[in-house]
Amino acid sequence: MWKGKNKALTFSFDDGVTQDIKLIGILDKYGLKATFNVNSSLFGLKGKVYPFGKEAEHNKIRPDKVAEVYKNHELAAHTLTHPTLTVVDDQTIAYQVEEDRLAIERITGRPCVGMAYPGGGVNNDDRVAKVIREKTGVKFARTITPTYSFDLQENLYRFNPTLSYMDGRLFETAERFLKLKADKPQLFYVWGHSYELDVGPLGWDGFEEFCKLVSGKDDIFYGVNSEILLDK
């Protein structure tokens, strides 16, 4: 249970891009909490990505702004340079993850204990998870594989989210969670990239509608990833 509640909701967003600022404004408006997974060696870099076949800005938060931007939320590792960890050796995995984690702690002055695997497709496996568990200070690592379930998972080093907020089942899954009368701990875990809201079908208005829908419920605990995964 989380502070006497059997239901919890958390968000996770990757890449540390400038759209996070607008997204955090919405989260804060509705009293919601998120963990942001960032690449510390890429802070301040500018670029573009093409989700949904459309161009979106992919500009990273400047290093001198990181602590202030994310002060109400949690920062977690996403590796230094965003490699696909399944195709590099054990030493590189440990270096990419642990040096990112330590850099985040230096920048923010706060503990960094989580991460999200970088990249799409098959971006994690048992070998990678074992290295992270044994060679870094990370205590949980999120995949991109949806479960569409609210049940807790024993393996925190290959932790699967409920779904992406760009999934067409977002609102029906939310309604199912809100109606749930939980007699055991149940977690609604939503992940994504904030730049997707610039060009994706959900859009910023849709995201705010979702936040309004799920917020302010007396039977739900709202927290960052570490509060929910480690402190239950």
Q: What would the pLDDT profile of 163-208 be if each residue is shown by its tens digit?
A: 999 999 999 999 999 999 999 999 999 999 999 999 999 999 999 9
Nearest to 90 by CA among 137, 124, 128: 128
The topology under which CATH files domain 7-196+213-230 is TIM Barrel (3.20.20)
**Residue 152, pLDDT above cutoff 70:** yes
Length in residues, the chain: 232
Structure tokens given for 40: 């510390």
What pTM value is reported for the model?
0.97
Confidence at 232, pLDDT banded by 50, 70, 90:
low
**What is the Cα–Cα distance from 229 to 159, expressed in whole angstroms?**
10
Q: Please report, as a single letter, which amino acid is at residue 204.
A: W
pLDDT at residue number 175 = 98
Mean pLDDT, range 116-140, rounded to an integer: 96
CA 117 to centroid of chain Cα atoms: 10
**What is the Cα–Cα distance from 127 to 181, expressed in whole angstroms?**
38
Mean pLDDT, range 216-221, rounded to an integer: 98
CA 24 to centroid of chain Cα atoms: 13
**Residue 151, pLDDT above cutoff 90:** yes
pLDDT at residue number 11 = 98
pLDDT at residue number 73 = 98
**Residue 137, pLDDT above cutoff 90:** yes
Tens digits of per-residue pLDDT, 55-81?
999 999 999 999 999 999 999 999 999
Phi and psi, residue 20, nearest 5°: -60, -30
pLDDT at residue number 179 = 98
Tens digits of per-residue pLDDT, 11-65?
999 999 999 999 999 999 999 999 999 999 999 999 999 999 999 999 999 999 9
Structure tokens given for 124: 């994690």
Is residue 139 within 8 Å of 226, Cβ to Cβ? yes
Residues 6+ apart with CB under 8 A from 168: 201
**What is the Cα–Cα distance from 194 to 25, expressed in whole angstroms?**
12
Share of the chain above pLDDT 90, in %: 97
Burial of 184 (0-12, 13-18, 19+ CB in 10 A): exposed
Confidence at 120, pLDDT banded by 50, 70, 90:
confident
Is residue 35 within 8 Å of 78, Cβ to Cβ? no
Mean pLDDT, range 125-140, rounded to an integer: 98
**What is the Cα–Cα distance from 125 to 157, expressed in whole angstroms?**
10
Confidence at 121, pLDDT banded by 50, 70, 90:
confident
